[in-house]
Amino acid sequence: MADAVDSRLLSRVDRYIEELLVPPDAALRQGLVEAEAAGLPDIAVSPNEGKLLHLVARLVRPGRILEIGTLGGYSTTWLARALEPSGRLVTLEIDPHHAAVARRNLERAGVADRVEVRVGPAARTLRAMAAAREPPFDVVFIDADKEGYPEYLDLLLRLSRVGTVIMADNLIRGGRVLDRGSTDPGVRGLRAFNARLAAESRLDSIILPIMRDRLDGLSISIVRA
Ligand code: SAH
Ligand code: DHB
Ligand code: MG
């Protein structure tokens, strides 16, 4: 079924939208160049998805944003630019090298004063944050190891309030999530996460197809009363 998607057409349409609506940005572009030079994988969200994250976040007028999976700080920058003037973003990253590259990029983008990169396995950091009764976040973006997604969702609900917007990347994976029998741990994690979104009475959710070089998906959920 995934093979029936004309991926070249999807890429051209994605590029068309980007050229129309996502103006070139020197700091974001340089951040991707630095990330590649530092050996980071080329798996940041696309420019269009970055702008989508930014626009959705802005609707919330967020004072506190949480990200799981920093990489080189590309999506972090898009999200940090959606913060209200005195707002803060916390981003969780397991790899100290990724965190160091991200800190330089966030500095260059002029958002380092608003962003804290916390290094360590996200599940452990989230448990510590919940135990410390950190104030709830207004917007959350999940984009780290796919096996971890279901546990992150459980922990995040303890760091949310009614109205918190939770988004998660890579939920479709070229259609690989359609395979009920998949033995791939990442795909299994994503299938479990998507099922949790559907079953979770505290959330109102949708998954949007996202196109780049292949079809993927982004969820948007609102924490219910
Ligand atoms: N959000 C980024 C891309 C993140 S890629 C962007 O769009 O620009 C996924 C990141 O999650 C990688 O940097 C990886 O090191 C990190 N990661 C993987 N497992 C993790 C874990 N258990 N805890 C925290 N971060 C993790
Ligand atoms: C991949 C893509 C992502 O956006 C991500 O967060 C992790 C991995 C990938 O294509 O492998
Ligand atoms: Mg991703």
The 10s digit of each residue's pLDDT in 137-150 is 999 999 999 999 99
CB 45 within 8 A of CB 81: no
| pLDDT at res. 8 | 86
- The whole-angstrom separation of Cα 42 and Cα 34 is 11
- Minimum-distance ligand 1 atom for the alpha carbon of 72: 8
**Interior CA angle at 135 toward 129 and 136, to 5°?**
95
CA of 134 relative to ligand 1 center, distance in Å:
22
Reply yes or no on whether the pLDDT at 122 is more than 70: yes
* pLDDT tens-place string over residues 169-223: 999 999 999 999 999 999 999 999 999 999 999 999 999 999 888 899 999 999 9
Contacts (Cβ under 8 Å, ≥6 apart) of 46: 14, 18, 210, 212
Helix (H, G, I), strand (E, B) or coil at 181: coil
- The whole-angstrom separation of Cα 34 and Cα 173 is 26
* pLDDT tens-place string over residues 72-115: 999 999 999 999 999 999 999 999 999 999 999 999 999 999 99
| pLDDT at res. 6 | 79
- Minimum-distance ligand 2 atom for the alpha carbon of 170: 4
Bridge partner list, 119: 93
Residue nearest to atom 10 of ligand 2 (CA): 43
Phi/psi-derived region of residue 125, left when phi > 0, alpha when psi is between -120 and 50, beta in every other case: alpha
CA of 117 relative to ligand 3 center, distance in Å:
17
Instruction: Provide the token pair at 8.
Output: 């070249």
Q: Which amino acid is at 81?
A: R
Q: What residues flank ligand 1, with Cβ below 6 Å?
A: 43-45, 69-71, 74-75, 92-95, 98, 121-122, 143-145, 148
Q: What residues flank ligand 2, with Cβ below 6 Å?
A: 43, 69, 143, 169-170
Predicted confidence band of residue 2 (pLDDT cuts 50, 70, 90) = very low
> 């002029």: which residue's tokens?
110
- Minimum-distance ligand 2 atom for the alpha carbon of 143: 6
